[in-house]
Amino acid sequence: MKIDILIKQISFLFLLCYSIESLSQEHNITYKELLTTKTYENVYEFGWLPTAYREIPCFRDYRNNNFKMTMKNSKNGKSIELPQEKDKTALKIISDKIKIDKKNKRIIISGEITGAWEHVTPGEFEIYIGQKKDTISNITLSPNLHGDIFYNGRKVDSTIVVDTVPAFYLKNFKKFSATRSYIESDKKDEQKIIFDINSEFDEKSSLIFAVSSRYVEIFNIGVFLRREN
């Protein structure tokens, strides 16, 4: 009788330990390991898929686009060659915690976003986990209220397509927010833009950080579910 009770107790403890282990199988990922999933560095810029509500993020590669247009001031006749954008820099993500739960397909990651301008606000950042879908995107020219637009020597009187560029948009995506952190120092408060994500993901998921006028950061985090422990 006592042996039966002992066996039952041991069996119960075994099942309890197994159940606890099954609930979460998180393991730590180093920042160096995260960087091995980084892809398309200094390539894509953030925008929106041309829909009615601008609700689907789209990322375009303008590197091989070199078309030129001219804006002419109708009042003084002066012309300006466009575009005149400066070289862009890239965002940089510095993580301080990364955990992967392969059983439940969940990622926990937090850290800091750097590389933007000095007075950027958290609301200007776009953070997504989703599946990339390759496409192409049209570059269009439209009439401008501030002056006449000329392309290939002809005045642009209506919207025209002048080129296409490689692009991708996101499917089945989730959006996350950045926040601001204040750290006391001897000199002054240092303001950091930080993120803290706890989300489901799958084998095709990418983690993307974006802000206007900067190249985006792309991490193919789905590989963590395909790799051996």
Give pLDDT tens digits along the chain (229 positions): 545 554 444 454 444 444 444 445 789 999 999 999 999 999 999 999 877 577 899 999 988 876 666 666 666 666 666 655 556 789 999 999 999 999 999 999 999 999 998 889 999 999 999 999 999 998 887 777 667 777 777 777 888 888 889 999 999 999 999 999 876 544 444 679 999 999 999 999 999 999 998 999 999 999 999 887 6
Burial 183-201 (b: 16+ CB within 10 A, else e): eeeeeeeeebbebebeeeb
Residue 156's CB is within 10 A of a number of other CB atoms, namely: 20
Structural contact between residues 91 and 115, judged by C-beta atoms closer than 8 angstroms = yes
User: How confident is the model over 123-159, as pLDDT tens digits?
Assistant: 999 999 999 999 999 888 777 766 777 777 777 788 8
Indicate the DSSP class of residue 90: E
Q: How far apart are the C-alpha atoms of 27 and 149, rounded to whole Å?
A: 56
Q: How far apart are the C-alpha atoms of 21 and 1, rounded to whole Å?
A: 30
Indicate the DSSP class of residue 88: P
Structural contact between residues 174 and 129, judged by C-beta atoms closer than 8 angstroms = yes
**Which pair of tokens denotes residue 199?**
């989300």
Three-class DSSP category at 8: helix
